[in-house]
Amino acid sequence: MKLSIISLGCSKNSVDSENLIGLLESSGVEIVSDVGEADVALVNTCGFIQPAVEESVNAILDLELFKEQGKLKKIGVVGCLVNRYGDELKKELPSVDVWARAEEWGLVLRSLGLIPSGKPERGMLSETRPWSRYLKVGEGCDTFCSYCTIPSIRGRARSIGIPQLSAMASDLAEKGAREICLVGQDLTIYGRDLYGEPRLGELLSVLDKELPRDVWIRLLYLHPSRIDERFIDFVAGHDRILSYLDIPVQHIDPEILKRMNRPSDEDHIRRIFSYARKTDPLFALRTTIMVGFPGETESQFSKVLDFLEQAMIDRVGAFIFSPEEGTPAAALEGRISSEIGEARYRRLMELQSEISRERQELFVGKKLAVLIDEIDEEDGTAWGRSYREAPEVDGLVAVSGGTSLVEGQFVEVRITDAAEHDLFAEIAGE
């Protein structure tokens, strides 16, 4: 059997898809990247927000058409969209052969008449770079932000034990990983369900000790309320744990944060970002901001702009509030018009582009270690990332004269120029 997997949504979904691939391969299935070559195609869906729902549904409809044309024998739908809208979807899409909620991979195998043999290993999606891998530390979330569907889709937080994660990380390193990105809905609550208190620091200490010295550890998705000066010092004091923190604050105004069902300590948020800057002026900081939340006034939005200017954050992902079905925020009064929401989004991104450019220019003339992701043979440019750029979401470093380099290699470069998102460099010493 030849099978193709379309993996949509976040990096955590990608990890799920790769775990499923490993199970399928252990059952004798040949994984192909081209749906046109497959007997069976599966979509690992995302159901987080409506645009993601629409993308998932469109992918399913495309597969239905392939099946109608006789190009596929079976199609399957798995993952978050099934968790969120499974009963409705089954009525609307009767031609789908396989239905499974997120992580119900045994059901997928049984629906396809497969039995795994031996101990399955994690597979790889065709787009996966073997030198840069994600390690999912758990599933679900206990934060219950008023706008978020994740707890209803994925359930309460469930951590994977430290010994298992250490073994997984070591296995990824043995298979060529030079960057391991820790992901979860919120890394800061890692281990609380297993050990009675968060154990992210202990997990990081174990990984720092067990992994080879030339492997980066990158942290993604940290709730600001559980970040303090001690944790920032811990990260800054460990070379392999990159000085890069992705801390989604969503907003800065206490009243809006309260309506979001998030801790409303504005002083704490400002303090931790300021402390990171004082600890290391070149610390890479990323955050996420939501604009147009119900009831947001112009003065409350202006506080967000003030915060960005004060904190001088390197990267910001922003989005306009979306009233997701079934969330408390969808029923809140004071809905902001789409025109105002879009105008605020543009103003925020215009300001952030100036801040990003200013932060980028700090690195001109400096040396950085860069992990090479891709080489353009035509113009000789190698594209890679330093500690400041997470895969898929941040900019890149363009290294001139890079044809002598290889993908997955670390190289020391000297930064020669800077743009809003990307840096430009030459190989150090040349």
Q: Give pairs for 328-331: CB < 8 Å, separation 24+.
A: 328/146, 328/147, 328/261, 329/146, 329/147, 329/259, 329/260, 329/293, 329/294, 330/147
CATH of the domain at 387: 2.40.50.140
Residue 357 vs residues 105, 266, 313, 392: alpha-carbon distances, Å: 45, 26, 11, 19
Domain boundary residue, one of 361, 388, 416: 361
354 within a domain of the structure (yes/no): yes
Assign residue 78 the CATH number of its domain: 3.40.50.12160
Q: Are residues 372 and 412 in the same domain?
A: yes
pTM: 0.91
Q: Which of 332, 361, 390 is the last residue before a domain boundary?
A: 361
Find the helix or strand (DSSP H, E) in which 86 lies.
helix 80-92
Residues 143 and 69 grouped into a single domain: no
Residues 163 and 200 in one domain: yes
Query: Taking residues 245-259, what's their average pLDDT?
Result: 95
CB 174 within 8 A of CB 180: no
Contact 102, 136 (CB under 8 A): no
Polymer length of the chain: 430
The reply to whether 411 and 342 lie within a common domain is: no
Whether 116 is in a domain gets the answer no
Q: Which domain holds residue 257?
A: 132-361
Q: How far apart are CA 423 and CA 407, in angstroms?
A: 18
Q: Would you say residue 417 lies in a domain? A: yes
Q: Does residue 372 lie within any of the structural domains?
A: yes
Over the stretch 90-145, which tens digit does the pLDDT of each residue have? 888 888 999 999 989 889 999 998 887 778 889 999 889 999 999 999 999 988 89
Mark whether 402 and 337 lie in a shared domain: no
Same domain, 152 and 232: yes
Of 336, 361, 386, which residue is a domain's last? Answer: 361
Say if residue 105 is in the same domain as residue 148: no
Residue 126 included in any domain: no
- pLDDT tens digit sequence for 377-424: 888 899 999 999 999 899 999 999 888 899 999 999 999 999 999 999
279: in domain: yes
Distance CA 48, CA 151 (A): 10
**What CATH number has the domain bearing residue 298?**
3.80.30.20
Assess whether pLDDT exceeds 70 at residue 430.
no
Helices (H), strands (E): how many in the chain? 13, 18
Q: 77 and 97 in contact (C-beta within 8 Å)?
A: no
Confirm whether 118 is domain-assigned: no
Q: pLDDT tens digits for 312-367?
A: 999 999 999 999 988 999 999 999 999 999 999 999 999 999 999 999 999 999 99
Same domain flag for 384 and 306: no
Whether residues 352 and 398 fall in one domain:
no
Q: Identify the helix (H) or strand (E) that includes residue 4.
A: strand 2-7
Residues 176-188: what's their mean pLDDT?
94
Q: Do the domain assignments include residue 209?
A: yes
C-alpha distances (whole Å) from 260 to each of 147, 251, 296, 307, 398 are: 7, 9, 11, 18, 39
Residue 48's pLDDT band (boundaries 50, 70, 90)? confident
- Same domain, residue pair 94 and 137: no
Domain shared by 174 and 207, yes or no? yes
Tell me the average pLDDT of the chain.
92
Number of domains forming the structure of the chain: 3
Residues 6+ apart with CB under 8 A from 267: none
Two structure tokens written together for 413: 């470069």
pLDDT in tens, 204-233: 999 999 999 999 999 998 999 999 999 999
How close are the terminal C-alpha atoms of the chain, in Å? 51
42 and 186 in a single domain? The answer is: no
Closest CA to 293 of 248, 325, 340: 340
**pLDDT tier for residue 89 given thresholds of 50, 70 and 90:** confident
Q: Residue 195 in contact with residue 221, Cβ under 8 Å?
A: no
